[in-house]
Structure 1
Amino acid sequence: MALDLHRKYIERKQESSPLIPIKDIINSKYYLDPLQLLGERDFNEPREISESEVGTPVQEFFRDAVVLITGGTGFMGKVLTEKLLRSCPHIKHIYLLIRSKKNKNVDQRLEDIFEDRLFKRLKHEVPKYYHKISAIAGDCGLAGLGLSVSSRNTLINEVNIVFHGAATVRFDEHIRTAMNINVSGIREMISLCRKITNLKVLAHISTAFSNCTRLYVEEKFYDNSVNYKDILELISTKDDQTLQDMTNSIIGNYPNTYTFTKSLAEDVIRNEGQGLPMFVFRPSVVIATYREPVRGWIDNVYGPTGIIVGVGTGILHTYFGNFETVTDIIPVDIVVNALICSSKEVATIKADEIPIYTCSSSKQVPIKWNEFIEMNKQHGMYWPTIRAVWYYSFWPTNNPYLYAILNLFCHIIPGYILDTLAVMSGQKPILLNIYKKLHKVRDTLAYFVRGEWTFVNDRILRLWDTLDSQDRELFNFDVRQISWEYFSQAHCLGLRVYLVKDDIHTLPNARKKWERLHAAHIVVKTLTIIFLLWLVWLPVSMIFKHVI
């Protein structure tokens, strides 16, 4: 009810003015509680689950199951872990394969994972979750997954279900590192799973862009132009610099080492995974949560998220790309629910061939880049961050000459000026460095902003139709029901709270700062227009004087 009133109020104000005065929002009796919008007021009360209580078909599939998750410290891995612990009450145990990092052992890293606000709902609803989760030291980039003998034996004797999500997702990763983790990692996992005594299913999390050299991608394996064994042999005989110099010739038509190695990983599965109860799961561009455990949660700036954050903080003002193309984005909780249900189906049906499930949205609920950004602008204006450096102003273009001009006046010149002022005031200059990083990100994303892909996702749609009503409620992944308007309502607020780490208590001051930045923006824009008019008038006036 509060959300409907808030929406009607916003719509009424938008009819009269494109910019709603901040004071009107703050003083409105329909002003919405941010935590209510994010869903942090809607947690269920904790309750004891009896062992005799029968769950839904999907919940029963995980009864007494021991699950191994690789990539559990990553974005999707965290959501998967949270969902299994919260929604599968009879699950026996979850092992997270974690490597030591930054002077922290795996147990310390496990504790750090659960400090994330993502797990706030789990801790409230299932307060005794902690005895069902533990870490196992390992590394998917090493031989044998970096497992000790005792850890390997534990997994072989206990595990039933494996979710292999470990991967390096950096587009510009060195070819050796990408091959070791993304290709050798799945080979090692297949080798381990062949020894597991009671394996029900092995899920390999790939990407819909593993075949991005094709604009129409079906749920099937495609032949690759190179053999993964040849590439593995090559990286074992060359030094890092030589491989770096050879990378473009190695990856061929692929835009980066990430998509190239994920494609080779699927070749590994087709050639070495036969006979195992396994499947390939291909999500498209995974973005923030749609509904659960809270709305708008995310912990990285990959893909369109980086653009939204840059624009919302007043750092990014222009971008080079075709924003009229459809972007295939999918919320992470939709992805995880589909992954969980797919694992149950594969284990139950036991198909003769290794099936591929694609989780995408563009065929059912397509949205263009510019539409997505505009929706986020409309709703995000009400949740400015105290860390904003300038007011919202964004002019994307696919004209290289116009982009060069906009980049000069909107990024480079202001960057030099503000960094100089920072040095004069004794602060560290950071803006130009940020723009250098943004330009690097722009180059890596250019391929995906320009193109438009069609991903066939028939298996996911058919799977949804087989679920009963309770599983549909618990594990919603019907992409046909996605509303990008609903998603955008909480997206920027979620980025503010969960990613930028800007507490909601700063909202009043952030809104005051936002109004000051808006005033400054108008002044600068007015002065710029006057200056440009003067530049035009100067030669014209000289011509008039010469003629007269």
Structure 2
Amino acid sequence: MALDLHRKYIEKKQDSAPLVPIKDIVNSKYYLDPLELLGERNFNAPREINESEVGTPVQEFFRDAVVLITGGTGFMGKVLIEKLLRTCPHIKHVYLLIRSKKGKNVEQRLEDIFEDRLFKRLKHEVPKYHHKISGIAGDCGLPGLGLSVTSRNTLINEVTIVFHGAATVRFDEHIRVAMSINVSGTREMLNLCRKITNLKVLAHVSTAFANCNRLLVEEKFYEPIANFEDVLELVSSKDDQTLQDMTPDIIGNFPNTYAFTKSLAEDVIRREAKDLPMLVFRPTVVIATYREPVRGWIDNVYGPTGLIVGVGTGVLHTYYGDSKTITDMVPVDMVVSALICSAKEVATEKPKEIPIFTCSSARQKPVRWIDFIEMNRRHGIYWPTIRAIWYYSFMPTNNIYVYLLLKFMCHIIPGFILDTLAVLAGQKPILLKIYKKIDKVRDILAYFSDKEWTFINDRTLKLWDTLDSQDKELFNFDIHQLSWEYFSQAHCLGLRVYLVKDDIHTLPSARKRWERLHLAHKALMAVTYGVILWFAWTILSFVFRLFV
């Protein structure tokens, strides 16, 4: 199987990181080149921009466009920036709304963005991209977006397209902060866009889970459970602790402040943005890249990513939840392509009502948790991390008693032993703290562990059908062609290189370590089963003697 998957990759040793064959994993003479698998060896040649060259319909839509992006320092925002600068050669300029953070000013944070390996392809293919990108000081949590008079006037006079993706995505965010950024920030963006002279379209990035209190979610607005103006007034009149105590009552049947405030943000748009050329874009769970600019890129451990990383590093061995549940996930590059094309569609067609585009996969390409994990295990075994503390061993369960037993045996006892050894060696104990964090994350995500939603995505599917063949190649978001097997081939390698930042030069050492951990795992299993059998035999012998 693995030989067939990798037969197309190079047979010689790679220049930057010579590897040895994985003799104990695959009986193959082929050398697997991780950078080719990720797509980092397949960049196009650097190109000069020809102003007279006519592009595809989507490319031409962005000709001479000045784009404002909020949330550009985030996961989706980075991919959006990279995609626009690389595939839309005649775009005029991109402004990023950036706030100062951790002692770094706007210019420093802008430089930090492009230090990410995500932009390696952009730097190679479009080396003169620098003059098309600028940072503007601002903060979506402040009145007027925190813009200076000069910056505001610049945006009003120059911008033609706006992608509003700024949001706090922490599920357990304080209600005051979540309301400030997700609701008030959206309202402030609407006020700014009303003044923009040549606005073509405003694309608001929401989430499909803004209506997670419904199991069937169509591409339409829903009545919120609360009036956003009343909640804003409440937030402004109470202290932090009082609001914290009131939060369960405020958010009602929503699982967290994130989903609740994103729901209210949509209501702000429904009620106050009818005079604007805009759309609402609802992605489901956004995961690593599928194909562009490289495969498997990601920069966070939210959702499925954290689970795969925990399992792959030998830290996570059990989890409480229904592994047969289908989780709606979409690779981030497909999400961004759909967002770009939906913006072009709305600006061109000028619909009378604000359209909603849902980017989801479960209706067309459903995947169960257990199958997704198994695919990642099967392909990820070739790319172990040098930071692994144990071999792959994962036993999810939806039985609370079995989970508590497995948690005690596989997490608490090993965590206590290894932390004790760390203290004796003069090192900092961390494993039990990690397991406490995992428990906290599990509690936060418990609402989603046994539910399946149906997200209607008809408008997005129809949008794909309207694209010509060239745009379909440049801006792929065809869910029908999505292959979870293809995604999984590079996913764990991408996590290793881009997220864990484990250099590929460590692969030979990591594979040897992985083999040793495998042997240790087998030995431990043999001892464990032996103890269990001995214990069972002792009990049975005692019972037998008792009655005979």
TM-score (norm 1): 0.96
Residue aligning to 1:59: 59
- Could you list the runs of 5+ residues in structure 1 that have no partner in the other structure? 10-20
Distance in 2 between residues matched to 1:320 and 1:132, nearest whole Å:
48
* 1:27 to partner: Cα distance: 7.5
Alignment of 1:97-136 (within 5 A): 97-136=97-136
SS of the aligned residue for 2:163 comes to: strand
Residue aligning to 1:385: 385
Please, which moves more after superposition, 533-542 or 166-175? 533-542
SS of the aligned residue for 1:529 comes to: helix
Is 1:3–1:37's contact at 8 Å kept on the other side of the alignment?
Answer: no
Distance in 1 between residues matched to 2:3 and 2:537, nearest whole Å:
51
Distance in 1 between residues matched to 2:420 and 2:286, nearest whole Å:
38
Residue aligning to 2:258: 258
SS of the aligned residue for 1:311 comes to: helix
Please, which moves more after superposition, 320-329 or 76-85? 320-329
Q: Which amino acid aligns with 1:106?
A: V
Q: Which amino acid aligns with 1:224?
A: P
Query: Deviations for 1:253-288, whole angstroms, at most 9, x for unmatched residues?
Result: 000111000000000000011110000000000000
Distance in 2 between residues matched to 1:418 and 1:354, nearest whole Å:
56
Distance in 2 between residues matched to 1:543 and 1:496, nearest whole Å:
52
Q: Which amino acid aligns with 2:275?
A: G
Distance in 2 between residues matched to 1:229 and 1:34, nearest whole Å:
52
* 1:31 to partner: Cα distance: 2.6
Residue aligning to 2:12: none
Residue aligning to 1:360: 360
Aligned residues: 536
Residue aligning to 2:290: 290
* 1:29 to partner: Cα distance: 2.5
SS of the aligned residue for 2:195 comes to: coil
- Could you list the runs of 5+ residues in structure 2 that have no partner in the other structure? 10-20
Distance in 2 between residues matched to 1:302 and 1:259, nearest whole Å:
15
Query: Deviations for 1:321-348, whole angstroms, at most 9, x for unmatched residues?
Result: 1111111000000000000000000001
Is 2:524 the counterpart of 1:528?
no
Is 2:298–2:499's contact at 8 Å kept on the other side of the alignment?
Answer: yes
Residue aligning to 2:150: 150
Residue aligning to 2:78: 78
Alignment of 1:43-58 (within 5 A): 43-58=43-58
Is 1:391–1:521's contact at 8 Å kept on the other side of the alignment?
Answer: yes
Distance in 1 between residues matched to 2:338 and 2:547, nearest whole Å:
75
Distance in 2 between residues matched to 1:196 and 1:462, nearest whole Å:
30
Is 1:22–1:515's contact at 8 Å kept on the other side of the alignment?
Answer: no
Residue aligning to 1:304: 304
Residue aligning to 2:245: 245
Is 2:98–2:106's contact at 8 Å kept on the other side of the alignment?
Answer: yes
Alignment of 1:460-539 (within 5 A): 460-539=460-539
SS of the aligned residue for 2:76 comes to: helix
Residue aligning to 1:220: 220
Q: Which amino acid aligns with 2:144?
A: G
Q: Which amino acid aligns with 2:359?
A: C
Query: Deviations for 1:503-525, whole angstroms, at most 9, x for unmatched residues?
Result: 11100000000011011111111
SS of the aligned residue for 2:68 comes to: strand
Alignment of 1:178-197 (within 5 A): 178-197=178-197
Query: Deviations for 1:145-189, whole angstroms, at most 9, x for unmatched residues?
Result: 011111111101110000000000010001110000000010000
Is 1:22–1:512's contact at 8 Å kept on the other side of the alignment?
Answer: no
Task: Give % identity.
Answer: 78
Alignment of 1:426-437 (within 5 A): 426-437=426-437
* 1:541 to partner: Cα distance: 2.7
Residue aligning to 1:140: 140
* 1:538 to partner: Cα distance: 2.7
Is 2:70–2:96's contact at 8 Å kept on the other side of the alignment?
Answer: yes
Distance in 2 between residues matched to 1:189 and 1:212, nearest whole Å:
25
Is 1:320–1:397's contact at 8 Å kept on the other side of the alignment?
Answer: yes
Query: Deviations for 1:225-259, whole angstroms, at most 9, x for unmatched residues?
Result: 21000000000000000100111111010001110
Q: Which amino acid aligns with 1:246?
A: M
Is 2:3–2:28's contact at 8 Å kept on the other side of the alignment?
Answer: no
Distance in 2 between residues matched to 1:215 and 1:65, nearest whole Å:
39
Is 2:37–2:490's contact at 8 Å kept on the other side of the alignment?
Answer: yes
SS of the aligned residue for 2:173 comes to: coil
Is 1:3–1:32's contact at 8 Å kept on the other side of the alignment?
Answer: no
Residue aligning to 1:166: 166
Is 1:175–1:243's contact at 8 Å kept on the other side of the alignment?
Answer: yes
TM-score (norm 2): 0.96
* 1:23 to partner: Cα distance: 2.2
Distance in 2 between residues matched to 1:159 and 1:329, nearest whole Å:
32
Distance in 2 between residues matched to 1:5 and 1:270, nearest whole Å:
48
Is 1:200–1:347's contact at 8 Å kept on the other side of the alignment?
Answer: yes
